[in-house]
Chain A
């Protein structure tokens, strides 16, 4: 209580400082006057009376100072004082301040942008209520270990009934709705959800209501819950939509409500009740319903996993045939939302940006250090006048903090720009991209980084300087003796900078080469002048296999009839989009003693190989006669032929995918291998089926053009819509764009890392330049003497260059060793180049040495121009 009053009074005193000052002054003058009057009346002369009175009062300045101290907050005030002094000092050295602040702004801006992106992507909870408690329950089959599947309908129902770890279990199946009517037909992702789906996310519709139990039995016909985006886009945000009937895919739905604006899950545009088919309700091996669960508040993911394991063990016991080679995997929603690529990319970027920040700090440390050497006498003077070591240390630290915070504010602006640029430039596959924005936390991170940088940058020089020997420093020129010591710290910082920069350089050089090699990969087919699009057939309108076959046939004919399309190819899968269909193939079926192996399987149209320029090595491709009812045929790839038909002619041989007679195909052709999943893939054995014998409900359309393929978009749409005017075409793009998109992630990462490396290199250049020119200044006398004694300017040049080169070589040596260890972390992100590639390492080291020579050359030239007389006279 008393302390609080005292604080309050001090605060009030602070506000009336001038009044207090005047009161004290008048009071002391009054005292003096009374004292003097008394002396006068005791018989002294007026002059002597005053002098004596003043003597008795003592050191008035000190008393006034002391009084002031008791009024205020002395520590705070001296900090304010130091800060003001620091600002003044910086103002007097604008060149130094600009370089230091820009360096820090660069380091702080880049690192706080990357750190906050990392925070937003990897650490911040997903935007759902209680999101840490939300998990996926994936089905994993031993047969396809790399795929995450859902659960079967009865398994999910059992899980909901039995699992005690979960308070809510919901599952869904995703599909597409075709939106027709005004404008072009559009395809919208939709999820058929079980009854607890919205409850799991604690979401209430913004308009209308969720699904009622009746809706799951279709008592009131089909119902739909519109997503906010779809409602805005397609229904002009009409709030009278609730209760009305809308038609999708020729099927009427009653709108029960609209989802809130801030709810999104997996880009779904609308929800419908999940009404399973009769066989889905009982079929246990049908693992196609993606399952979500909300754990009870005190349950950990580990406990939930343990329960899922025992749940699955129970199922395996009850249904050994269907359930024994599967297991369930509980994965928090956040972990699933961020893909592994994003995590490794962010890790790479965080590493790179930390290096950049460290280089920046080393540089600023060096700058402060060389300045503090110039200020040695000033500091020694302060110490001589009674400033304590702590006070000087504090003063120097405050100066570097002032520098760092100014850099931090500039860095914050840079970070804000950087984050915006990141959102625009980063590949769309980057997880949670839309959630990245400039936030207060960025400012906080920037300031924290700035303070840390300030302390790191300031501490070493401050400790060094405050230890300075008073006597030596005060004597003109004697600072020379302590120079070697201080110089070694500066050299150490430069060496550290060089080695960090080398690591950055090597990393970016590896990524650049990897990207270049990836772009030069031979895909095995012609990718230029190719327009591609995706067609998803509506399951209601093309329900039967015959309907699908007929549709594919008509599309193919409509496209082939267009003279501007120089080639037409259909396939059930798009090319170079990281997707493929894989089938498990047992070589024993054709008499080869090998384990079952995955094959890349594709259903393609007649003319596929010709349109894509895939060399036909033997036999024929598919023709119009390879339809339903004609003999089942396949075309195999060269590597499949070599591996499973060794030393024999594969044409005419039988290829079997099962024991059933319908699973036997005749090999009619052999084609060259292609890379059509993604550029960096290994070659895999491939098998092609005729699309008209094996129709899927989706297909990829490719047409070859004479001119820019994008000029044919309209024509392609018209041809498709001439067959079915309500058929949406999605992913319309040229193949070269598709390829560019498929390497968007590595390209973006490479670009960023190269920018960091370039910045690191520039900072290192400045660092070396700074140290060498400082040392040339300090050695002016020595160099002058050398010149006077007959040294050639070449000798002096060599002497100085050797010094710069010496630091660079040491740094590069350490950097090479460090890179050898560090680049292993990049191994998974590299294509066609080893992380320890000696040429890359040597090249990066050479580049750094060249930079070091350039940075030393300018001060070295200056050294040779040193006039020996001036240097000697300065003595």
Chain B
């Protein structure tokens, strides 16, 4: 199968980071996180919304986020995610790694 790059392809591993970063703004439900990522990235990073959920499960298992059920603005039950302190630490590490990689890529692109 031949794959062509499309605009919603993320760098591997970045989805976790994006979720963690989003949650620094406070507790949010899955739909909210997806919306936020799309709005902030001006619709460039269009995450396949379903893939958010395995990622969230992963983060739960790692203990980087916590989840609890609450009621959303339109009176429907929703699961709200909060960043834990371990998650905040992890975000720091991932953001740093990401910065380094982006700079490296940028340098390559400049010299090319």
A: which residues have CB within 8 A of B? Answer: 2, 5-6, 9-10, 13, 23-24, 26-28, 30-31, 33-35, 37, 56-60, 62-64, 66-67, 69-71
Contact = CB atoms under 8 A, between A and B. Distances in A.
Given A6-B61, A58-B48, A28 B53 contact: yes
Nearest to A31: B31
B49 interface: yes
A494 to B, nearest CB: 46
Interface in B50-88: 50-51, 53-54, 57-58, 60-63, 67, 69, 72, 74, 76-79, 86
A58 B76 contact: no
Nearest to A34: B31
B49 A24 contact: no
A2 B57 CA distance: 17
Contacts of B76: 30, 33-34
B61 A35 contact: no
Contacts of B31: 30-31, 34-35
Contact of B50 (A2, A9, A60): A60
A756 B54 CA distance: 58
Given A2-B86, A30-B29, A70 B61 contact: yes
B7 to A, nearest CB: 14
B54 A66 contact: yes
A105 B57 CA distance: 46
Contacts of B50: 28, 57-60, 62-63
A359 B59 CA distance: 53
Given A5-B63, A30-B77, A71 B57 contact: yes
A31 B74 CA distance: 12
A689 to B, nearest CB: 94
9 contacts: A10-B61, A31-B30, A33-B76, A34-B72, A34-B76, A58-B48, A66-B51, A69-B54, A70-B61
A60 B30 CA distance: 14
Given A6-B61, A30-B31, A33-B76, A67 B53 contact: yes
Interface in B18-53: 29-31, 34, 48-51, 53
B61 A23 contact: no
Contacts of A56: 48-49
A24 B79 CA distance: 9
A59 to B, nearest CB: 7
Nearest to A26: B77
Interface residues of B, number: 25
A30 B53 CA distance: 12
B77 A35 contact: no
A59 B53 CA distance: 12
A56 B48 CA distance: 6
Contacts of A69: 54
Given A6-B61, A33-B76, 20 more contacts: A9-B60, A9-B63, A13-B61, A23-B69, A26-B77, A26-B79, A27-B29, A27-B78, A27-B79, A30-B79, A31-B34, A34-B74, A34-B76, A57-B49, A58-B50, A62-B50, A66-B51, A66-B54, A67-B54, A70-B54
A535 B30 CA distance: 99
Given A63-B54, A67-B54, A70-B61, A31 B49 contact: yes
A37 B35 CA distance: 14
B54 A27 contact: no
A56 B76 CA distance: 21
Nearest to B62: A6
A23 B79 contact: yes
A809 B53 CA distance: 66
Contacts of B86: 2
Given A6-B61, A33-B76, A63 B53 contact: yes
A34 to B, nearest CB: 5
A67 B63 CA distance: 15
A10 B54 CA distance: 14
B105 to A, nearest CB: 27
A27 B63 contact: no
Contacts of B69: 23
Contacts of B61: 6, 9-10, 13, 70-71
A58 B79 contact: no
Given A30-B78, A33-B76, A70 B53 contact: no
A660 B69 CA distance: 115
